[in-house]
Amino acid sequence: MKKKLGLILSATALSLGLVACGAPGTDETAKPKNEVGKTVETPDLNIQVESVKSGYAESSDKDKQMLIVDMNIKNTSKEESGAGAADFEVKADNGKSYDVYGLEEKNFGTAIKPGKTIEGKGYYEIPKDTKTVTFYYEPAGKKQAQWELQVPEK
């Protein structure tokens, strides 16, 4: 009886181990997450990444590309709140972080009245071979939101 129980327990443990190895998301060929369209609520703002583009030729460095993130931001507080492209940071799949590209005058930044929504673009210079990024909303160095994004090919 003890041998039978031992065999059953061993077989169950082995089966569970094999099932865990094949769990969704563990396959190395799985497509990376892409959270375009995801809205994240912060204490004062609801922020949605509407689209991501790449290849904007502002950079003079041939090893870099411009990542353009189009956002929709609603002020959900009772006070005026500010938001701008400089409040966001990009962490590329090489593990390095990149701030807003300061030479792009089209970067957004404005005060948002309570209940109002703005749309704006942020420009971030990243390595040209980047496939995925983590996009952070980080005003005053405090992370409040993040998105996993795929970098589209030019």
Predicted confidence (pLDDT) per residue in 116-150, tens digit: 999 999 999 999 899 999 999 999 889 999 999 99
**């009245």: which residue's tokens?**
113
Q: How confident is the model at residue 1 (pLDDT cuts 50, 70, 90)?
A: low
Q: Is 87 exposed, middle or buried (0-12, 13-18, 19+ CB in 10 A)?
A: buried
pLDDT in tens, 40-94: 999 999 999 999 998 765 667 788 899 999 999 999 999 999 999 999 999 999 9
Q: Give residues with Cβ within 8 angstroms of 77, minimum separation 6.
A: 43, 44, 45, 114
pLDDT at residue 11 greater than cutoff 50: no
User: Which one, of 80, 48, 72, 75, lies nearest residue 147 by Cα?
Assistant: 48
CATH architecture of 31-150: Sandwich (2.60)
Please, what is the end-to-end C-alpha distance for the chain in angstroms?
Answer: 66
